[in-house]
């Protein structure tokens, strides 16, 4: 008799425990990878066909140079203008065509051995981007240079076509005011701002619809 009662109790107990277990598991926080909104547009950078050039005025002439890009992605919600991602520049790749000048730039100004990257992290895009043709927008974000963060807005002219895009922008970086060393000497003074020019190309994913 007692054996029969034990068996009946076990039969009744098992489904109750199973239901309780399932309820507990369903209430626990889930850690699945976040889904990317279908409305987002992803601009991926083609570093092999993009470039960053710079120019710096001095007492006697204007110095021109370039930097190499490492990688870059910008994710945009066209409805809100909210953006994310980052564009990374190889600080150690900076050159002007003069070895002694470049050595001084990397050792004393950029300190590229310590600060190997310059990173731009966009957070919003102001202006309407058209699905086809040319658009002029303002890309706002944070520029990390020489270990410090600075707000920056970059005017960009972008052209979209099918699954690819191009973008061009010009802006100034007040590097001396931002704490980098002034490379001027008694005879040759340099401007406090360096002019940056971007020529970017890449692939496009997602619908560009406001």
Q: What is the maximum span of the chain, computed from C-alpha positions, in angstroms? A: 109
Residue 195 resides in a domain:
yes
Pairing relation of β-strands 51-57 and 148-161? unpaired
Residue 23 resides in a domain:
no
Residue 109 has φ and ψ, to the nearest 5°, of -100, -65
Q: Are the C-beta atoms of residues 120 and 86 closer than 8 Å to each other?
A: yes
What are the tokens at 98?
């003069």
Count the domains in the chain. 1
Three-class SS state of 177:
coil
Could you list the pLDDT tens digit for every one of the 210 residues in the chain?
A: 544 444 444 444 444 444 444 444 445 555 444 454 557 899 999 999 999 999 999 999 999 999 999 999 999 999 999 999 999 999 999 999 999 999 999 999 999 999 999 999 999 999 988 888 899 999 999 999 999 999 999 999 999 988 899 999 999 999 999 999 999 988 889 999 999 999 999 999 987 765
Helix%, strand%, coil% for the chain, nearest 5: 20, 50, 30
For residue 192, the enclosing domain spans 41-205
Residue 111 has φ and ψ, to the nearest 5°, of 50, 50
pLDDT in tens, 179-199: 999 999 888 899 999 999 999
CATH of the domain at 164: 2.40.128.110
Residue 66 resides in a domain:
yes
Q: Note the pTM of the prediction, 2 decimals.
A: 0.79
Q: What H or E segment, with its residue span, contains residue 23?
A: helix 2-27
């Amino acid at each position: 008799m007692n054996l029969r009662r034990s068996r009946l109790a076990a039969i009744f107990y098992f489904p109750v425990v199973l239901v309780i277990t399932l309820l507990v598991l369903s209430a626990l926080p889930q850690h699945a990878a976040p889904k990317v909104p279908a409305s987002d547009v992803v601009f991926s950078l083609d570093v092999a066909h993009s470039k960053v050039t710079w120019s710096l005025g001095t007492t006697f002439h204007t110095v021109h140079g370039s930097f190499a890009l490492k990688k870059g992605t910008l994710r945009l919600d066209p409805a809100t203008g909210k953006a994310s991602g980052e564009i990374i520049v190889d600080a150690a790749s900076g050159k002007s065509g003069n070895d002694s000048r470049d050595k001084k730039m990397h050792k004393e100004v950029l300190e590229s051995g310590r600060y190997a990257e310059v990173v731009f992290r966009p957070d919003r895009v102001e202006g309407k981007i058209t699905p086809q043709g040319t658009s002029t927008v303002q890309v706002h974000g944070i520029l990390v240079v020489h270990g410090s963060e600075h707000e920056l807005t970059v005017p960009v002219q972008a052209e979209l076509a099918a699954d690819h895009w191009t973008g061009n922008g010009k802006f100034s970086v007040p590097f001396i005011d931002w704490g980098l060393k002034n490379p001027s000497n008694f005879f040759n003074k340099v401007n406090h701002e360096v002019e940056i020019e971007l020529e970017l190309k890449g692939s496009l994913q997602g619908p560009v619809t406001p």
